[in-house]
Amino acid sequence: MTNLRLGLAIGILAAIGCGLVACGGDDASTPTIGATSTAIESTRVPTTPAAAATSSSTQPVPTVRRCATADLALATESGGAAAGTHFLALILTNTSGADCTVSGFPGVSLVDGVGQQVGEPAERNTAVAVQTLTLKPSESAHATAGFPNFQNFPSGKCAGPSVNLKVFPPDELNALTVPLIDYACPGFSVQVFKPGKTDQAGG
């Protein structure tokens, strides 16, 4: 009888102890959802959107506009002679109050006293690579035109004489003119604009 009472007492104590420590194994190892969510939220760091950071740190790059005809003055200067051709530097000077750019070939032709074209316009001579030149106020660029000597051609091959030289700055629809008496012969050509006012022998 004593042993029975002792066994019952031990069983009751075991049941009470198991309840206190949450017996069952699986429940004790499972994390609560609330604790996990709180841990994740605490690790989040506010960030600045990349687009906003880029826009605030990037400054606009100023651009230099193309020289318009109204910005320029035209003059000519001898560029020497070689192999039956004489050369002329077609000089454009920036007369505006701001920087502007010149790049590529001018349109060049000879005209008579009433502005009619004499012969064919100058062909493009691609011996020199195109470059973009920024002209500050009062700075100049030149394009070298080659005029084959008309005396070297049979009658009827050349047109002329002209009264003026007509020059269109690159990508412009309005032209500048200067007085020039010459002939448009086969081989009449022009190169791209280069820095300064002239070079020698058609350089």
Half-sphere exposure at residue 116, Cβ-oriented, CA atoms within 13 angstroms = 6
Mean pLDDT of the chain: 81
- Number of other CB atoms surrounding residue 72 within 10 Å: 22
pLDDT at 199: 79
CA distance 44 to 171: 57
CA distance 141 to 40: 67
Taking only the tens place, the pLDDT of each residue in 115-171 is 999 999 999 999 999 999 999 999 999 999 999 999 999 999 999 999 999 999 999
**In this structure, what token pair is assigned to residue 141?**
């660029």
First CA to last CA across the chain, in angstroms? Answer: 130
pLDDT: is 95 or 52 the higher one?
A: 95
* pTM of structure: 0.69
Cβ atoms 160, 119 nearer than 8 A: yes
Which residues are CB-neighbours of 18 under 8 A, at least 6 positions away? none
**In this structure, what token pair is assigned to residue 24?**
């069952």
* pLDDT class of 18 with cuts at 50, 70, 90: very low
HEC secondary structure over 1-12 = CHHHHHHHHHHH
- Number of other CB atoms surrounding residue 82 within 10 Å: 12
pLDDT: is 90 or 2 the higher one?
A: 90
Task: Tell me which amino acid residue 158 is.
Answer: C
